[in-house]
Amino acid sequence: MHEAAIVESALELILAKAEEHHLTKIRRITAKVGELSGALPEAMQFAFQNASQGTIAEGSDFTIEQVEATASCGSCGITFPIRFYHPVCPSCGGLDNQVLTGYELYIDTMEGD
């Protein structure tokens, strides 16, 4: 389960930032996870519950916002949702497409006292 390693690394950074800002309790954390990132939000939730035990993040609201995967067609210029890594433009059938979103995997916000 690579989600556990991802969450543990993220939690290290979160706790370091909390210490830097003199927080004694983390109340809420928001993560952005793209559909193409390979990370499963449910597994990340589970890993966070386990990894945060005994830390100032224990019991915090760990929210995962899933980012839709989109691409832009290099031929006709439209932006369209995708579900796989090598998208075909639904408008012109073009293959010269650039993935715009979907690979995100980061902590977006953190709130605490």
C-alpha span between 73 and 88 (Å, rounded): 8
pLDDT at 83 (0 to 100): 80
Alpha helices in 1-113 (DSSP H): 2-20, 41-51
pLDDT at 105 (0 to 100): 96
Express each pLDDT in 21-45 by its tens digit: 999 999 999 999 999 999 999 999 9
**pLDDT mean for each 10 residues of the chain (113 residues):** 90 96 97 95 96 97 97 95 83 92 96 96
Give all strands (DSSP E) within the chain, no chain letters.
26-34, 61-67, 70-73, 79-81, 97-101, 105-112
Is 21 a known ligand-binding residue? no
pLDDT at 75 (0 to 100): 94
Q: CATH number of the domain that 25 lies in?
A: 3.30.2320.80
| Domain membership of residue 104 as a residue range | 2-112
Total domains in the fold of the chain:
1
Is 2 a known ligand-binding residue? yes
Is 76 a known ligand-binding residue? yes
pLDDT at 22 (0 to 100): 97
Q: State pTM to two decimals.
A: 0.86
